[in-house]
Amino acid sequence: MVPIKTVGQILDAIQTVKAGAPAFCTNFFPVQRKLQGWIDHGELLGELRDGVAWFLRQERGFGHLYFCAANLAVLQQELAALPCLKTERVVVDVVGREAALGGFVALLESGGFRCYARLCRMARASQPGEQRPFAADPRVVFAERADCPAIFELLNG
C-alpha cells in the first residue's frame, strides 16, 4: 500500500470500484475532516486492486483495515492476496444489522480474522416535553494538555 496524499485519491478509488459494481459492499464511511486529519498525520495508506479499494490507517501499533468492494466474491479473493495481513496486526470493523452480516463475517473469518468484540448501539427517542436532568455544574470547558493522560486512559478503558 502507498501513502494517501489527498482526499480526492480516496473518493476516486471508491468511485472506480462503485462503477458498475453489482453488489457493492464496504466498511468505509469516510468523513472528509477525519480523512484529512489522517492524511495530514501520514496515517493512511491505500491500494486499488481488482474490484477492491483498500485503506489502512495506522494507529498505536496496529492497522484499521477499510475496504470498498464490487461484491463479496472479489472481496474474498483480494483479501486472501492482501500482503499486510501477513505482516501486520490488523483489525476490521463491520457495520450492519447482525442478521445481514452472517456471510460477511464468515468471509472475514475465512481470511484469518476472528470476532473480538461486538457493539450494540441503542437509541431512545425522548417524549415530547420530557426534561432531562442537568448536572449540578453544567459548565463545559475545553480539555487542556494536562488532561491528555486521563482522556487517553478513558478511551483505552
Quote the domain boundaries for residue 95.
2-110
For residue 86, is it within any domain? Answer: yes
For residue 119, is it within any domain? Answer: no
In terms of Cα–Cα distance, which of 64, 6, 75, 74 is closest to 35? 6
User: What is the signed CA dihedral for 134, 140, 145, 150, rounded to 10 degrees?
Assistant: 10
For residue 132, is it within any domain? Answer: no
For residue 34, is it within any domain? Answer: yes
For residue 118, is it within any domain? Answer: no
For residue 124, is it within any domain? Answer: no
pLDDT at residue number 131? 65
R_g over Cα of the chain: 19
Residue 46 and residue 55: Cα distance in Å, rounded? Answer: 4
User: What percentage of the chain exceeds 70 in pLDDT?
Assistant: 92
Q: What is the pLDDT of residues 45-93, one digit of tens each?
A: 999 988 999 999 998 888 999 999 999 999 999 998 888 888 889 999 9
For residue 49, is it within any domain? Answer: yes
Q: How many domains are contained in the chain?
A: 1
For residue 133, is it within any domain? Answer: no
